[in-house]
Amino acid sequence: MYKPENIRNFSIIAHIDHGKSTLADRLLETTGTVSHREMEEQLLDNMELERERGITIKARAVKLEYTADDGEVYSLNLIDTPGHVDFNYEVSRSLSACEGALLVVDASQGIEAQTLANTYLALDNDLEIIPVINKIDLPSAQPDKVKQEIEDVIGIPAEDAPCISAKTGLNVEDVLKAVVRDIPAPKADITKPLKALIFDAVYDSYRGVIVYVRIFDGKLSAGDRIRMMNTGAEFDVVEVGHLRPFGLEKRDCVMAGEVAYVTASIKSLSETDVGDTVTLAENQTEEAFPGYKKALPMVYSGIYPADGARYGDLRDALEKLQLNDAALMFEAESSIALGFGFRCGFLGLLHMEVIQDRLEREFNLDLITTAPGVIYKIVMKNGEVKYIDNPQNFPTGDEAEETCEPIVKATIFTPVDYVGTIMELCQERRGVFKDMKYITSDRAELHYALPLNEIIYDFFDALKSRTKGYASLDYELAGYEKSSLVKLDILLNGSMVDALSFIVHTEKAYGRARKIVEKLKENIPRQLFEIPVQAAIGGKVIARETVKAMRKDVLAKCYGGDITRKKKLLEKQKEGKKKMRSLGTVEVPHEAFMAVLKFDDE
């Protein structure tokens, strides 16, 4: 029975590890939606990788049925949000599908940058925020202090916030009560033309794209012809229904206020952009939802099969992943050193790692990846403006009038003890200090302008290791700034290895060059010839190491007529060569390519 006044649409905002998934599990259990026995750990995070990394990459939604004290049955639609800065846009679309959000804060850790950023997103979307203090069972829990922090920092009342332990189930019922009591029912008018917001979409090999929508106005049934207002694509609806923990629940009709799925024989995710507005082709709503944008990659890298013969497999794998991840972009490229591969664009570094992991794990591919880079803006002498995502396209000589790099506005939350350390780190990474606020007596919020290029190397790791994991980071792109950039080339035995080139700030060039030639020296085994390893800018060598020639590689004894030993040894060496890339006369193991990508924070 359709009762919009009994619908509640909400998200959970939480920092990684603050217990979002555990709370979601507990809500499913408490409402009887999933029994404890059925409960697979953390149902909402259903990709293996997500579970391992403890983060949600793709948003999911689920409908819970909750019988409140007044005897009324409520439909609670929980829309899960990705918990990482790379997926900011997806978060904002998920939030705008809701009327409220649970702000889950760890009782011993307090608010983190990510949480705050998402809370602001929620406030921008006029969501009702319900603070929830989690992990109060921990000895280090300081619920009152955290409540105060919420009031001070976010400016919302937190006195009555449920204090729970999602792990033990303590007071979880209070959360459900608060959801029903505090989050407004959707304003729903089923007489208006259909207006629905796409907040997620997944590809299913049997049904095509399954679109997740929040319906704001009107209703939608199988057989309706729908139109995506931004892409202009039209489809005939095959099926609609609700999202249940164990799958899709088919309905004849879904209506205003509800969260639903739609299938319409849609072949490609590129036609169902998150943030787009779904309406009826014949009876259109007046205006699409604001805020729609195409997800644009910020980080680029080359991905090559370690075994050149598997180029086709890599292409198939990327195509398959793209079906489910519209933000992944790729195009064919070739490298003299690595052969044929793809230049891939990612939302951020995490997105890149996730894709690489999935390629290796789900498709059994061995990959060689090139150093991640960003899109640089080059103003040429002739006035032409170029955006380049591949170091190979960096202008040579003095063709460029001006080089610019993307800058982000970074917000870092930290216990005050680490302010000095973080300032030092930001300075090392060419950050420009903007301002700092004490949000409580012992926590601070720092604002920096940082080059994106610096963030994508190891900024996260460095921040975590230097602050024992206490500091958190959020950032958004803030445009391009003029910057002195150079292309650094690596030469092995005098020949340039294109796949190892990268663009770097002049000030950083020498340090990076040193590190890279040292790493290569460590990772390239001694060979028959001495191999000079050089780093150069525009032909001028700025760092050099030498891989000494191998001195011993011999089977000393070959007696008694037993030549099998020698044969085995030669077979083994031939096998070993397959794990190498032959660059001119130099054999480079795959690990060497990977090693130079890892910039340890030393």
Copy the structure tokens of residue 548: 């000494």
- CA dist., res. 563 & res. 155, Å (int): 81
Q: Does 36 bind another protein (CB under 8 A)?
A: no
Give the nearest distance from C-beta 141 to another protein in angstroms: 45
Q: Per CB under 8 A, which region of 221-229, 346-354, 364-372, 547-555 contacts another protein?
A: 547-555
Give the nearest distance from C-beta 500 to another protein in angstroms: 23
CB 488 within 8 A of CB 450: no
Give the nearest distance from C-beta 494 to another protein in angstroms: 14
Copy the structure tokens of residue 195: 């207006």
Run of H or E residues at 369: strand 367-369
Q: Per CB under 8 A, which region of 132-140, 259-267, 268-276, 524-532 contacts another protein?
A: 524-532
Q: Does 578 bind another protein (CB under 8 A)?
A: no
Of residues 562, 579, 598, 600, which one binds another protein by CB under 8 A?
A: 562
**Amino acid at the residue 448:** Y
Token pair 């230097």 in the structure block, residue? 466
CA distances from 421 to 426, 516, 553 (A): 9, 25, 48
Q: Per CB under 8 A, which region of 143-151, 341-349, 546-554, 592-600 contacts another protein?
A: 546-554
Q: Does 566 bind another protein (CB under 8 A)?
A: yes
- CA dist., res. 141 & res. 127, Å (int): 27
336/550 with CB nearer another protein? 550
78/492 with CB nearer another protein? 492
Of residues 481, 570, 579, 598, which one binds another protein by CB under 8 A?
A: 570
Give the nearest distance from C-beta 589 to another protein in angstroms: 15
DSSP letters for 479-530: EEEE--EEEEEEEETTEE-GGG-EEEEHHHHHHHHHHHHHHHHHHSPPBSS-
Q: Does 563 bind another protein (CB under 8 A)?
A: yes
* Cα within 13 Å of Cα(311), Cβ side: 14
Q: Does 265 bind another protein (CB under 8 A)?
A: no
415/525 with CB nearer another protein? 525
Give the nearest distance from C-beta 582 to another protein in angstroms: 9
- Angle 364-366-367 from CA coordinates, rounded to 5°: 125
Of residues 73, 336, 432, 550, which one binds another protein by CB under 8 A?
A: 550
DSSP letters for 187-238: --BTTSPPEEEEEEEEEETTTEEEEEEEEEESEEETT-EEEETTT--EEE--
Q: Per CB under 8 A, which region of 126-134, 297-305, 434-442, 563-571 contacts another protein?
A: 563-571
- CA dist., res. 593 & res. 499, Å (int): 9
C-alpha closest to that of 389 among 365, 406, 411: 406
Give the nearest distance from C-beta 575 to another protein in angstroms: 11
- CA dist., res. 491 & res. 59, Å (int): 44
In eight-state DSSP terms, residue 389 is S
Q: Per CB under 8 A, which region of 93-101, 238-246, 281-289, 551-559 contacts another protein?
A: 551-559
Sign of CA pseudo-dihedral 202, 203, 205, 211:
positive
Give the nearest distance from C-beta 561 to another protein in angstroms: 4
Copy the structure tokens of residue 193: 């033309």
Give the nearest distance from C-beta 307 to another protein in angstroms: 17
Of residues 247, 290, 539, 561, which one binds another protein by CB under 8 A?
A: 561
Please list every residue from 444 through 473 that binds another protein, using CB under 8 A: none
DSSP letters for 300-327: EEEEEESSGGGHHHHHHHHHHHHHT-TT
361/565 with CB nearer another protein? 565
In eight-state DSSP terms, residue 46 is -
Q: Per CB under 8 A, which region of 93-101, 139-147, 317-325, 572-580 contacts another protein?
A: 572-580
Q: Per CB under 8 A, which region of 134-142, 149-157, 187-195, 565-573 contacts another protein?
A: 565-573
Q: Per CB under 8 A, which region of 74-82, 98-106, 296-304, 571-579 contacts another protein?
A: 571-579
CB 21 within 8 A of CB 47: no
267/565 with CB nearer another protein? 565
Phi/psi region, residue 17 (left: phi>0; alpha: psi -120 to 50; beta: rest), is left
Q: Does 557 bind another protein (CB under 8 A)?
A: yes
Q: Does 187 bind another protein (CB under 8 A)?
A: no
Q: Does 574 bind another protein (CB under 8 A)?
A: yes
Q: Does 393 bind another protein (CB under 8 A)?
A: no
C-alpha closest to that of 298 among 535, 528, 86: 86
Q: Does 559 bind another protein (CB under 8 A)?
A: yes
Run of H or E residues at 89: helix 88-96
279/527 with CB nearer another protein? 527
Q: Does 382 bind another protein (CB under 8 A)?
A: no
Of residues 528, 538, 546, 579, which one binds another protein by CB under 8 A?
A: 528
90/587 with CB nearer another protein? 587
Copy the structure tokens of residue 91: 């978060």
Of residues 250, 573, 579, 600, which one binds another protein by CB under 8 A?
A: 573
Give the nearest distance from C-beta 531 to another protein in angstroms: 12
Copy the structure tokens of residue 76: 């609670």
530/600 with CB nearer another protein? 530
- CA dist., res. 229 & res. 359, Å (int): 33
231/523 with CB nearer another protein? 523
CB 410 within 8 A of CB 448: yes
Q: Per CB under 8 A, which region of 274-282, 331-339, 371-379, 527-535 contacts another protein?
A: 527-535
CB 217 within 8 A of CB 186: no
Of residues 52, 67, 529, 579, which one binds another protein by CB under 8 A?
A: 529
Of residues 36, 540, 552, 578, which one binds another protein by CB under 8 A?
A: 552
**Amino acid at the residue 43:** L
Q: Which residues pair with 221 in a beta bridge?
A: 253
Binding site for another protein (CB under 8 A): 527-529, 549-564, 566-567, 569-570, 573-574, 577, 585
